[in-house]
Structure 1
Amino acid sequence: MGRYVLRRLLQLIPVFIGTTLIIYLLVWAIPGDPFAGKCGERGCPPAYIAEMHDKYNLDDPLIVQYFKYLGKLLTGDFGETYAGVQVSQLIEQAYPTTIKLAVVALIIEALIGLAAGILTGLRGRGFADNLVLVSTLFLISLPVFVTGFVLQIVLGSELGIIKTTVSSQPSIGELIVPGFVLGSLSMAYVARLTRTSLMENRRADFVRTAVAKGLGPKRVVGVHLLRNSLIPVITFLGTDLGALMGGAIVTEGVFNIRGIGGLIFKAILTKEGTTVTGIVTLLVLVYLLMNLLVDVLYAVLDPRIRYD
């Protein structure tokens, strides 16, 4: 297993370079001067523009700019904004809140989604199955911002159970409702994926063999059926953490959460390419590490998988 993890870590290096290169090219290949509107209605002085171009290496070819940026990135330097603020400082302020929000959303979608999927997958068709199917279809078709506004109005303004906006340093309790909103779409997919996987594996040969050996229902379901059925669900949940962090812009806006979503949205509006590149690069790292974790979990869930 150790050799496999090392090999997968080495494989992540070209993937990281390739993805960050694409991100850098997409952000910085946009035509136009990023400093064109920095001086108000009047155009910026040529001396100022030349100084900023030299500071941010904007006169170099894009590929040269990328490798200079990559060299700084490997030392932990994410660059700085046009106002001279370190991007790493902005990320340090906003990242913990988004991490907590994404983890809360992941836990909620895993617990509720798995419970609903296992319940309907084991019982088969009936009232509970129809209820879960209708509920998940409703969540899938409903935009996240609508879910957020409805819960904000009903639970906050009408019932007074929650605050309509969270504090600047929110606790886990304050993030439960925003986390439910953020993870509602994925929760529906987890429930449906778990249900489908269980219903397919119930008729598999390894389940019939376990029953023929005389194993009890709990052992058949817990050891054989669930472990094999959860592999696609674990894959979805593992890769969903990065998606939750990157897709938190709407949820953070609805509940006034000061996180990565709001930071990257503001950076896009102000054309702060360095900030956008730094945040997206960080999300790429999260995706890659979660993929590695999911691959390692495969061996734990499915005894048929062996890593030489």
Structure 2
Amino acid sequence: MGRYILRRLLQLIPVFIGTTFIIYALVWALPGNPFAGKCGARSCPQAYIDKMTEQYNLNEPVIVQYFLYLGKLLTGNFGETYSGTEVGTLIQNAYPVTVKLALVALIIEGVIGIAAGVLTALRGKGFLDNLVLASTLVLISVPVFVTGFILQIVLGVQLEWIQPSVGSDPTIGELFVPGFVLGSLSMAYIARLSRTAMMENKRADYIRTATAKGLAPRRVVGIHMLRNSLIPVITFIGTDFGALMGGAIVTEGVFNIHGIGGLIFEAIMQQEGTTVTGVVTLLVIVYLLMNLLVDILYAALDPRIRYD
């Protein structure tokens, strides 16, 4: 297992370089003046443009710019905004809230989605199965911002069960409803994915053999059927963590959460290429590490998989 982890870590290096280079090129190689509008209504002085161009290495080819940026990145320096603020400081202030929100959403979608899928698969077609299929179809069809707006109005304004806006340092309780909104779409997919996988394994030969051997139903379901059925679910959840962190722009906007989503949105609106590149690079690292974790969990869930 140790050799496999080392090999996978080495494989992440070219993937990281390739993806971050594409991100950097897309942000900085686009035509246009990155300093447009930085000096108010009038155009910026040529001396200012020359200074900023030299500071951000914009007079160099894109490939040279990237490796200069990569050298700083390896030392933990994400660069500076045009106003002189450290991007690392902005990320440090915004990231904990988004990580907390994404973890809440991940737990909610995992627990409710897997439980709904397992129950409907075990009980077969009936009222519960139709209820889960209908409710997941609604969650898939309705946009996330609509779900968030409805819950905010109903639970926050009319019933006053929650605060319509989340504070600057929210607790887990304050992030429960925003986390449910953020993970609602993935929760619907997980429920359907779990249901399908459980129903397929329910008719497998090894399940009939385990039942014929006289094993307790709880052991047949929990040890044999559920472990094999969770493999596609774990794959989805692992890759979804990065998507939840990067896709929280709408949810954070609805509930006034000051996290990574709002930081990316403001950076795009203000054309702060350094901030966009730094945040997206960090999301790439999260994706790569989560994929590595998913690969390692495969061996624990499925005894047929061996990493020698």
Which position in structure 2 is the counterpart of 1:26?
Answer: 26
Partner AA of 1:131 in structure 2: L
1:124-203 to 2 correspondences below 5 Å? 124-203=124-203
Identity %: 76
How many pairs align? 308
Q: Which segments of structure 1 move beyond 6 Å, counting only runs of 4 or more? A: none
Distance 1:94 1:244 in 2: 15
The residue number in structure 1 matching 2:63 is 63
**Separation in structure 1 between the aligned mates of residue 19 and residue 210 of structure 2, nearest angstrom:** 44
SS of the residue corresponding to residue 35 of structure 1 reads coil
- Aligned letter for 1:48? Y
How many angstroms apart in 2 are the aligned matches of 1:218 and 1:182?
33
Indicate the SS of the match to 2:151: helix
Letter in 1 for 2:279: I
2: distance between equivalents of 1:193 and 1:29? 40
Aligned partner letter, 2:131: L
Question: Structure 2: how far apart are the matches of 1:189 and 1:53?
Answer: 46
How far 1:212 sits from its partner (Å)? 2.4
Distance in 2, Cα, partners of 1:36 & 1:2: 51
Distance 1:278 1:205 in 2: 50
Partner of 2:278: 278
Q: Distance in 2 between matches of 1:20 and 1:303?
A: 35
Structure 1 portions without partners, runs of 5+: none
Structure 2: unaligned runs, 5 residues or longer: none
State how 1:71-90 maps to structure 2 within 5 Å: 71-90=71-90
Distance 2:41 2:221 in 1: 69
Q: Distance in 2 between matches of 1:116 and 1:127?
A: 13
Q: What CA distance in whole angstroms lies between the structure 1 residues aligned with 2:168 and 2:207?
A: 51
Q: Which residue of 1 aligns with 2:226?
A: 226
Give SS of 1:230's match. Answer: helix
Q: Distance in 1 between matches of 2:138 and 2:290?
A: 29
Give how far 1:213 is off: 2.1
Distance 2:305 2:210 in 1: 19
2:264 equivalent in structure 1? 264
Q: Pairwise CA RMSD of aligned residues? A: 0.6
Distance 1:196 1:111 in 2: 17
Cα distance in 2 for partners of 1:190, 1:59 equals 48
Q: CA deviation at 1:214?
A: 2.1
SS at match of 2:280: helix
Name whichever of 210-219 and 64-73 sits farther off: 210-219
The amino acid of 2:185's aligned partner reads: L
1:208 is displaced (CA, Å) by 1.6
Q: Return 36-45 or 144-153, whichever deviates more.
A: 36-45
State the partner residue of 1:11: 11
CA distance in 2, matches of 1:70, 1:205: 52
Question: Displacement of 1:37 after TM fit?
Answer: 1.5
**What is the deviation of 1:29?**
1.4
Q: Letter of the 2:139 partner, please give it.
A: L
Distance in 2 separating the partners of 1:134 and 1:31: 47
Worse-matched range after superposition: 221-230 or 36-45: 36-45
Give the TM-score normalised by the residue count of structure 2: 0.99
Is residue 213 from structure 1 mapped to residue 246 from structure 2 by the alignment?
no
Letter aligned with residue 169 of structure 1: D
